[in-house]
Structure 1
Amino acid sequence: MLTFIATHRKFALTAQKTLTQTFVPSPTGTARQSWLCMHQVYWPKECSTRSPMAHTLLEQEIHSQPDTIRAVLSQSAHTAAVAARIITHDPYAVFIAARGTSDNAARYAQYLFGMMLQLPVGLATPSLTTLYGVALRFRQALVLGISQSGRSPDICEYVASARRQSALTVAITNKPESPLAQAAAYHLDITAGIEQSVAATKTYTNQLATIALLTGHLAGDGRLLDALDELPDVLAGVLAIPQATIDAAAQLIATGSAAMSIGRGLQYATALEAALKIKELSGLPVEGYSSADVLHGPVTTVERHFPVMLSGDTGVSHHDTAQLIERVRAAGARIVVASSSRDHYSAADVALPIPVCDERLAPIATIVAWQRVAAATAASRGRDANAPIGLNKVTETR
């Protein structure tokens, strides 16, 4: 099997570095044909961080993410001021209201706040407020509303109700003038700029970066803040993964009638968002799972040639991810792995090498690879990724 191993965190930024090509024997000791072998992928010296295929609106926005992340970092002083107010409020718990892609950002916040702040975090049930008329007792809680547009009525009403119940409320949106920003006591602008493609890409990564920036200030964690400064370079590395490798992953996924996307811990949010992106853009049914949940039943659906997408990194979930890769490989699955850990590549049919970065930011880098794969999967299935069937840019639910 042909895999590609990055030996330096900033491998994608140096024109003279190439990826090592390594043949890895299968568990039976015989060479195994893989999708990656069908593409002689290499790292040309003249390669750029922008793919020559980045000409659709979606692709342009995917490739703009190093710059949009820098815009988030420029908001550090304001984010620190909001963090100081949260520290003064001293919340006992956090509740996050969000829908769609923003709900996957909320899942990332659930893990990061728990890890760094030791705060229990619940994902909100807005229909209790909007449909059932329940005034929840938030008391000293912190309530976040996350929404790209800031216009979904149920999220706005949930946050407004929490504010009436003496919760400290913070909105995270791309629209400072939006109803959600006005409903909350404080607003964090993700500063992604206008996102013209229907599928959220740069708004999602900017939501995650905003959450990480807020967490870094809340925890007083200089290492996390320093790692955020390096994040644009990490994303540039992901964008420099050769298009042939991205296409190989897309072709493997598109051959199935369905697929599974798996991640553990912080990468659970990545698994969910990667599944959502492929569903939105290509129409292929993909289910996102935690690797722990997969073993409680869904693993029985993995059969020979079933496409499995795995998101991993070098952090504490590394071993669990490696074990699951071997489990689904034994079932005959076709595997695409996006990871910064070379240990995860050996059993993969296609490996998407992610530059090594702080574990807490790895989901931001990993999802960019899956965004590229989702766009390529749509093309492979004859779908227009700029106009997904049945979707609008802004969805308003009540």
Structure 2
Amino acid sequence: MKREIEQQPEALRRTLDAVLPELPALCRLGEQTRQVLFVARGSSDNAAVYGSYLCEVAAGRLATLSSPSVATTYRSRLDLSGVLAVALSQSGRTEEIVQTMAWAADCGARTVAVTNDAESPLAEAAEVTLCTQAGVEQAVPATKTYTTQLAALAVLGLALCGDDQGFRAALHEVPDAVEAMLQPRGDFAEMVARLAAVDGLVVSGRGYAYSTALEVALKFKETSYRTAEGLSYADLLHGPIAVLDGDTPVLLVAPADGPVLPGLVTLARRARELDSATLLLGGDAGLAAACDASVAGPQLPEFLAPIGLVVPGQLLTEAVAVTTGIDPDTPRGLRKVTQTDGAE
């Protein structure tokens, strides 16, 4: 896992080189559709949360995450005319995702696949395929396949924004910003020690970074078997904040700027009042001052920050697993390609 985390800058450079030429095809699909439907599971579903914010905040398109069981279990039929269905699967071989994309097309949707395998069933079935260039990922927890999915979705967002030149220029800065994250700056060792000493935590963010909170929480579950709950800070305040105490820390994830920061400062202060250790990935100086320990995030605009922000989270989860004597590469009960609904 650690080696594959370190491979992400080059994987991102290869991915951008591979998928940017698909911009004209994506722009044409964007002109022919109004809404976006994401089809995914697991880490890919967390990537889709990022994609939905890009579509709605940056591109002004209504976006939603699908419930694949509508297609595969209930076999309902919907009118998806005017919808762009974007299916994500690192292997391209998760049968439920392949079936749901085919169902969406049959219901009238146009289709895009995001996968790491150009010869997979998902890639072959889609009208346009954004093939990430992560290379073979040996560890079960997704790292480089996740960040390259985010990069592919950023290219989709670029297309839906009409190939905005400021967006494009910022996108080219991403690999270098991710490379800078490989040597965490700040209280990394302290945060590892604190999290290795507890059985559970809450991971919280909002807006674009909500996807990062979900993914980092998933990585804690997969790699070190912590009970980790990923929540929007708005949802956290609506009741779940009651779980925060001296035995349950909160890990905040935040971009370096943007409208979500004031609310996170308020949440950090509230958590400390509850004696919960308050830890931070990213954010600005004001948010860091409100927390007990922090690690710096990427110098990227908010709409691209999740691609870099997840990297110190990956490193943190890997380090906690190793510290507690768990091999993060091969979590118990998991396989690289997951099938659902009894499919094998």
Shorter-chain TM band: over 0.9
2:327 corresponds to: 384
2:130 corresponds to: 188
Deviation at 1:208, TM superposition (A): 0.5
Structure 1 CA distance for aligned equivalents of residues 197 and 46 of structure 2: 26
- RMSD (Å) for aligned C-alpha atoms: 1.4
1:290 corresponds to: 232
Tell me, yes or no, if the aligned pair for 2:30 and 2:159 is still in contact at 8 Å: no
Over residues 85-137 of structure 1, what are the superposed CA-to-partner deviations in whole Å (9 max), with x where a residue is unaligned?
Answer: 21331x22111110000000000011110012211111111111111121222
Structure 2 CA distance for aligned equivalents of residues 170 and 286 of structure 1: 32
Structure 1 CA distance for aligned equivalents of residues 31 and 243 of structure 2: 49
Residue aligned with 1:195, SS? coil
Tell me, yes or no, if the aligned pair for 1:340 and 1:356 is still in contact at 8 Å: no
Tell me, yes or no, if the aligned pair for 1:126 and 1:158 is still in contact at 8 Å: yes
1:222 corresponds to: 165
1:179 corresponds to: 121
Tell me, yes or no, if the aligned pair for 1:259 and 1:287 is still in contact at 8 Å: yes
Q: How many residues align?
A: 339
1:49 corresponds to: none
**1:201-212 to 2 correspondences below 5 Å:** 201-212=143-154
Distance change in 2, residues 1:263/1:77 (3 Å): closer
Could you tell me which amino acid in structure 2 is paired with residue 142 of structure 1? L
Structure 1 CA distance for aligned equivalents of residues 247 and 200 of structure 2: 11
Structure 1 CA distance for aligned equivalents of residues 132 and 326 of structure 2: 29
2:111 corresponds to: 169
Could you tell me which amino acid in structure 1 is paired with residue 280 of structure 2? V
Could you tell me which amino acid in structure 2 is paired with residue 240 of structure 1? Q
With 365-374 and 327-336 compared, the bigger mean Cα shift is at 327-336
Tell me, yes or no, if the aligned pair for 1:246 and 1:376 is still in contact at 8 Å: no
Asked if residue 274 in structure 1 is aligned to residue 213 in structure 2, the reply is: no
Asked if residue 362 in structure 1 is aligned to residue 305 in structure 2, the reply is: yes
Structure 2 CA distance for aligned equivalents of residues 198 and 350 of structure 1: 29
Structure 2 CA distance for aligned equivalents of residues 77 and 59 of structure 1: 28
1:246 corresponds to: 188
Structure 1 CA distance for aligned equivalents of residues 325 and 187 of structure 2: 19
Deviation at 1:391, TM superposition (A): 0.8
Structure 1 CA distance for aligned equivalents of residues 218 and 22 of structure 2: 29
Tell me, yes or no, if the aligned pair for 1:174 and 1:203 is still in contact at 8 Å: yes
Structure 1 CA distance for aligned equivalents of residues 17 and 313 of structure 2: 26
Asked if residue 66 in structure 1 is aligned to residue 19 in structure 2, the reply is: no
Report sequence identity in percent: 37
Over residues 215-255 of structure 1, what are the superposed CA-to-partner deviations in whole Å (9 max), with x where a residue is unaligned?
Answer: 1132122112111111111112111225x943321221122
Asked if residue 199 in structure 1 is aligned to residue 130 in structure 2, the reply is: no
Deviation at 1:288, TM superposition (A): 0.3
Tell me, yes or no, if the aligned pair for 2:35 and 2:83 is still in contact at 8 Å: yes
2:37 corresponds to: 95
Could you tell me which amino acid in structure 2 is paired with residue 61 of structure 1? E
* Partner residue of 1:374 out of 314, 317, 335: 317
Could you tell me which amino acid in structure 2 is paired with residue 325 of structure 1? A
Larger Rg: 1
Deviation at 1:256, TM superposition (A): 1.6
2:278 corresponds to: 335
Structure 2 CA distance for aligned equivalents of residues 326 and 166 of structure 1: 49
Structure 1 CA distance for aligned equivalents of residues 103 and 215 of structure 2: 28
1:114 corresponds to: 56
Structure 2 CA distance for aligned equivalents of residues 246 and 288 of structure 1: 20
Tell me, yes or no, if the aligned pair for 1:281 and 1:384 is still in contact at 8 Å: yes
Structure 2 CA distance for aligned equivalents of residues 331 and 397 of structure 1: 40
Tell me, yes or no, if the aligned pair for 2:253 and 2:283 is still in contact at 8 Å: no
**1:312-323 to 2 correspondences below 5 Å:** 312-313=254-255, 314-323=257-266
Structure 1 CA distance for aligned equivalents of residues 46 and 298 of structure 2: 22
Deviation at 1:305, TM superposition (A): 4.1
Residue aligned with 1:345, SS? helix
Tell me, yes or no, if the aligned pair for 1:238 and 1:355 is still in contact at 8 Å: yes
Residue aligned with 2:252, SS? strand
- Where does the alignment leave 5 or more consecutive residues of structure 2 unmatched? none
1:28 corresponds to: none
Deviation at 1:76, TM superposition (A): 4.5
Residue aligned with 2:289, SS? coil
Residue aligned with 1:148, SS? coil
